[in-house]
Amino acid sequence: MVLLVRRPPAAWFIFRGWYVRPLVRLDGLMTRGAIRLRHDLTLQSPSIQQAAFPILGAPCNALWCCAGRLQSVAYPACNVAHALHMPDALAAHSTYHLSFYKFVHIAQPELCASALRDVTADVFGSILVAHEGINGMVAGEAAALDDFETRLDADARFAGLFGDIVFKRTACRTQPFRRMKVHTRPEILPLGVEGVKIDVPAVSDALHAVSPQDWRKLIEEDDVVLIDNRNSFEYRLGRFRNAIDPQVKNFRDFPRYIEENLPVWKAQGKRVAMYCTGGIRCEKTAAWMIGMDMPVYQLEGGILNYFATMPDAGKDWQGECFVFDNRIALDTHLQETGTRAEDVYAGDPDEQWRLQRARKLAESD
């Protein structure tokens, strides 16, 4: 049996939908993986072989391990679920991809970016910083990513702004990035609409975050319009069944599609359900849609969280999921598919600039 938790303490990471504690001492050994209770379903000092928790349930406060025994647990309102097994493939990978974002006011983006350059010395990837928040993808060895997460939480220069970021970690065969870039921008995600302010409490109230389990039920309801909040080339590669392709070449085109169709949806008494890769595009869209008098539902954690959480995600998903790095695409088990950039952009003259950029990144990043 395992505990289901939503957010781990600092320095935990995610592997295939599991929150994993970086290091747990077991009779003098250091190991990783999934908690297994040796005798019963109680949580009082079970023997530990490994430590991990799938992404669900209530927030996690703390876990202390010593000499192979679970000493203290503080998980308010946690649930106990059926036993799950952590694949042994964890040890077979040396490189992992970590994605994260957070809408939070950053008073001095340049100073934040400078500090980020310090704490990313041992990883590769790309991080954008703006007054509205942070959006990043990095890759490296597990220990380097553990250290990055810890420093993002604990470094005084970040003033605690990033302590509750949700990280998504997946194992890699292909090196996702070949160098590290940290840049400041006017926005971490341009929507193409002037004056959109991210009021996090207001967005949380307006946007109904739907768990993967409930999402499966929601998208089958007749009054729901299911919208793919990504670019058309991403939709073509893979999508939820019955999802609508807004036919946009860039996220900045998405608001026009909503404005053109919103009156029709309202007249039909529809609700809007949208999804994107990791959640950031839906959250930015929801901030813009506040006040439009339309119920908006978002897949919590995006497509990647759905794959990580639902072992049978293939029942609802057709194709692959595009990712913006050298891996190109993942299947519903978060494994690289072998799809090439040429396969994604073939036959579309408007996307040739993306193909050239992908080739450049693969060569020198």
pLDDT digits (tens, 9 = 90+) for 293-335: 888 999 999 999 999 999 999 999 999 999 999 999 999 999 9
| Predicted confidence (pLDDT) per residue in 55-98, tens digit | 333 333 333 332 333 333 332 222 222 222 333 333 345 899 99
Q: Has 321 been annotated as catalytic?
A: no
Residue of 60, 78, 112, 276 with catalytic role:
276
Strands 133-140, 13-15: parallel, antiparallel or unpaired by DSSP?
unpaired
Inter-residue contact 305 to 17 (CB < 8 Å): yes
Q: What is the pLDDT of residue 81?
A: 25
* Secondary structure of the chain as H, E, C letters: CEEEECCCCCCCEEECCEEECCCEEECCEEECCCCCCCCCCCCCCCECCCCEEEECCECCCEEEEECCEEEEEECCCCEEECCCCCCHHHHHCCEEEEEEEEECCCCCHHHHHHHHHHHCCCCEEEEEEECCEEEEEEEECHHHHHHHHHHHHHCHHHCCCCCCCCCEEEEECCCCCCCEEEEECCCCCCCCCCCCCCCHHHHHHHEEEECHHHHHHHCCCCCEEEEECCCHHHHHHEEECCCECCCCCCHHHHHHHHHHHHHHHHHCCCEEEEECCCCHHHHHHHHHHCCCCCCEEEECCHHHHHHHHCCCHHHCEEECEECCCCCCEECCCCCECCCCHHHHHCCCHHHHHHHHHHHHHHHCC
Fold for the domain defined by 200-348? Oxidized Rhodanese; domain 1 (3.40.250)
Q: Comparing 149 with 7, which gets the higher pLDDT?
A: 149
Q: What is the pLDDT of residue 80?
A: 24
Question: Considering only CA atoms, which of 84, 290, 120 is closest in space to residue 200?
Answer: 290
| From 103-107, 117-121, 205-209, the region with the lowest mean pLDDT | 205-209
Task: Identify which of 86-90, 146-150, 351-355 has the greatest average pLDDT.
Answer: 146-150
Inter-residue contact 189 to 284 (CB < 8 Å): yes
Whole-number Å distance between alpha carbons of 13 and 145:
8
Whole-number Å distance between alpha carbons of 100 and 105:
16
Q: Given pLDDT bands bounded at 50, 70 and 90, which one contains residue 359? A: confident
Residue percentage of the chain with pLDDT more than 70: 70
Inter-residue contact 235 to 174 (CB < 8 Å): no
In the predicted structure, residue 223 carries a pLDDT above the cut 50? yes
Domain ranges for the chain? 2-89, 94-184, 200-348
* Secondary structure of 308-319 as H, E, C letters: HHCCCHHHCEEE
In the predicted structure, residue 358 carries a pLDDT above the cut 90? no
Sign of CA dihedral 118, 123, 127, 132: negative
In the predicted structure, residue 42 carries a pLDDT above the cut 80? no
Question: Considering only CA atoms, which of 294, 286, 235 is closest in space to residue 268?
Answer: 294
In the predicted structure, residue 35 carries a pLDDT above the cut 60? no
The top-level CATH class assigned to 94-184 is alpha beta
∠ at Cα 315 (58, 302), nearest 5°?
45
Residue 79 CA: distances (Å) to CA of 57, 84, 363? 7, 14, 46
Q: What is the distance of C-alpha 18 from the center of its chain? A: 12
In the predicted structure, residue 248 carries a pLDDT above the cut 80? yes
Residue 337: how many CB atoms within 10 A of its CB? Answer: 16
Question: Considering only CA atoms, which of 296, 307, 138, 302 is closest in space to residue 230?
Answer: 302
In the predicted structure, residue 181 carries a pLDDT above the cut 60? yes
Strands 62-66, 69-74: parallel, antiparallel or unpaired by DSSP?
antiparallel
Q: What is the pLDDT of residue 119?
A: 97
Q: What is the pLDDT of residue 200?
A: 65
Residue 362: how many CB atoms within 10 A of its CB? Answer: 16
pTM of the model: 0.72
In the predicted structure, residue 51 carries a pLDDT above the cut 50? no
